[in-house]
Amino acid sequence: MSGDEKKRMLPVEEALKQILALVRPLDLESAPILDALNRVLGEEIRAEYDIPPFANSAMDGYAVLASDTAGASQEAPATLRIIGNVAAGYTSDLVVTSGTAVRIMTGAPVPAGADAVVRFEDTDEGRRLQGEMDAGRERTEIAVYVPAEPRLNVREAGEDVRAGEVVLAAGAVLRSQEIGLLASLGRPIVQVHRKPRVAILATGDELLEITEPMRPGKIRNSNEYSNAALVQLYGGVPVRLGIARDNVEDLKGKLRAGLDQHVDMFITSAGVSVGDYDVVKEVLGSMGQMNFWQVRMKPGKPLAFGTIEGVPLIGLPGNPVSAMVSFEQFVRPAMRVMQGRIALQKQTVTVTLDEDISNKSGRRHFTRAIVTERDGAYYATTTGEQGSGILTSMVRANALVVIPEDVRHVAKGESATAQMLDWPEIE
């Protein structure tokens, strides 16, 4: 490649910057919390009450006055009179006074007067649990073998969350634990950013639907499926527009169908490379403001980007691996912005190469690789043949090893950066 050619090519970061400049977080909507998983919260969540709402026992045992157990031991237990029983889910009017105890279950409210819970294992009921004594249902007394500090095995009201506290800020990504916290606060519905509806359009006369019989000269439309799966994986809703044939009417009609469904973004595949019959370029150019780029990356050099009637459109290359790698670098971050996410970068690790990788392209080379961990360090081997049509090179990969534009060779034993395909972005 000549120096001029390199200069004309758009650096990956520049292409991404231009794409991100045209996307915005989508508006908020109310969602039941189970539909809010992995989405971005659009409101501040304040606790209306303490969690736990009342002091309760962390153990099955006896609620006591800690001072009654001072100096207790196996040889000289503190003997207390049992005045009642309290189970989880119930309250009681029992009051523990000096010399008495209440049998209590985990999660049950600590009765008035008591300031500690001694677990069964530290009483003579513990022996019964181990089968050494008869069942103690009728017992009236309990022998405590250990001294209890005040608050032992007591979960204080509000020790997890205090009433009035902000527990989740707007912008938080809701994971399973946040969903659980919302439930514990009695919030069935929250405000989250809307999921992007992403139209997927495959183009090409050579494409067969995946259920059609094979025919000479034709291939299956795999991109629609890998793209739709990526859209789902990254929190969007795929709107499949099917295959547009390489003619103006069909392509226009399919794009129109997407616009009519009020999609937030279009993803097309194929028809944007230099040698291509110009239908895709012509139609996209006539329907909106489009740029047809040569990005300085491999695979994935051709890329179209712009808007169709104000809706962002990313035109991915047709080769299955190029389409997926370009999706990762450009579509995924754009979708994440729409979802209100801040973290846009895939996690990376530094890897030691287990084999040589050369890069004569002068472009950033996203090498499909298998990254493994040995003794606390990461190592990478390539998935073999790296052709941009070889989808199995992606199937075997869990990472993309990134060889910089101007690096022609990285030898076995040297290090490189790997984007981990299956790891989520972190905030």
Q: Output the smallest distance, CB 311 to ligand AMP, in A.
A: 21
83 contacts 141 by C-beta, under 8 angstroms: no
Q: Output the smallest distance, CB 332 to Mg ion, in A.
A: 24
In the numeric block, which tokens belong to residue 185? 């606060």
- Total residues at interface with Mg ion (CB under 5 A): 3
State how far Cα 308 lies from the chain centre.
30
Residue 238 touches which member of Mg ion, ligand AMP, none, C-beta under 5-8 Å by kind? none
Pick the piece of the chain touching Mg ion (CB under 5 A) from 73-81, 144-152, 199-207, 247-255.
Answer: 199-207
C-beta of 271 vs 312, nearer to Mg ion: 271
Residue of 259, 276, 365 whose CA lies nearest to 316: 276
Is 279 near Mg ion (CB under 5 A)?
no
Q: Output the smallest distance, CB 7 to ligand AMP, in A.
A: 24
C-beta of 223 vs 419, nearer to ligand AMP: 223
* Nearest residue relative to Mg ion (C-beta): 270
Phi then psi for 138, rounded to 5 degrees? -90, 5
Residue 367 touches which member of Mg ion, ligand AMP, none, C-beta under 5-8 Å by kind? none
Is 302 near Mg ion (CB under 5 A)?
no
End-to-end CA distance of the chain: 38
DSSP labels, 6-39: HHHSBPHHHHHHHHHTT--PPPEEEEEGGG-TTS
C-beta of 139 vs 240, nearer to ligand AMP: 240
Q: Which residue has the tokens 């304040």?
A: 46
Alpha carbon distance 329, 338 (integer Å): 15
Neighbours of 377 (CB within 10 A): 12
C-beta of 272 vs 334, nearer to Mg ion: 272
Is 270 near Mg ion (CB under 5 A)?
yes
Q: Output the smallest distance, CB 314 to Mg ion, in A.
A: 17
Region for 249 from its dihedrals, namely left if φ exceeds 0, alpha if ψ lies in -120 to 50, beta otherwise: alpha
Alpha carbon distance 79, 376 (integer Å): 54
Residue 407 CB burial class (10 angstroms; 0-12, 13-18, ≥19) = middle
Beta strands in 234-361 (DSSP E): 237-244, 265-269, 288-294, 297-298, 302-308, 311-316, 348-353, 357-358
Q: Output the smallest distance, CB 201 to Mg ion, in A.
A: 13
* Nearest residue relative to ligand AMP (C-beta): 318
Residue 158 touches which member of Mg ion, ligand AMP, none, C-beta under 5-8 Å by kind? none
Q: Output the smallest distance, CB 281 to Mg ion, in A.
A: 11
C-beta of 118 vs 321, nearer to Mg ion: 321
Residues that bind ligand AMP (CB under 6 A): 202, 204, 206-207, 219, 221-224, 269-271, 273, 276, 317-320
Among 111, 204, 302, 362, binds Mg ion (CB under 5 A): 204
Interface residues with Mg ion (CB under 5 A)? Answer: 204, 270-271
